[in-house]
Homo-oligomer: A and B are copies of this chain.
């Protein structure tokens, strides 16, 4: 990721096991890191389950998540979300998301909408005008 989100690492689980219908990976955020930019998916369900440590779920409000806590984002529900580690220890969680051929991802804090079609990506402004090819943010 990069982009000022801080250090993180992840372990893919579903792909090495041959799954294609959903993706599952374990992500670990160092103190001060964030999972990504706030976003939501038009066509893909998404879920996290905290395994260890503590994360702050940032939506329009904030919620502290602890081991065993889960959060779900049904496809099409326009609630931008991300996790932040504001603690002084790593936080580990499982992320699960459907893998559809087509999806549209809305970034709540950026002028960016990403269209996914197979392996292709198109990056648009919110008004629908495309970013220059190769550009992203």
Count residues on chain A whose CB falls below 8 Å from chain B CBs: 25
Q: B13 near A70 (CB under 8 angstroms)? A: yes
Q: A20 near B45 (CB under 8 angstroms)? A: yes
Q: B49 near A19 (CB under 8 angstroms)? A: no
Could you say which residues of chain B place their CB within 8 Å of the CB of A45?
14, 19-22
Could you say which residues of chain B place their CB within 8 Å of the CB of A94?
49, 94
Most chain B C-beta atoms within 10 Å of own C-beta, residue among A19, A73, A77, A98: A19
Could you say which residues of chain B place their CB within 8 Å of the CB of A49?
13, 24, 94
Could you say which residues of chain B place their CB within 8 Å of the CB of A24?
47, 49, 70, 96
Q: A21 near B72 (CB under 8 angstroms)? A: no
Q: B17 near A47 (CB under 8 angstroms)? A: yes
In the complex, A74 has a CB within 8 A of chain B: yes
1/0 per residue, CB under 8 A from B, across A65-92: the answer is 0000011111101000000000000000
Could you say which residues of chain B place their CB within 8 Å of the CB of A74?
17-20
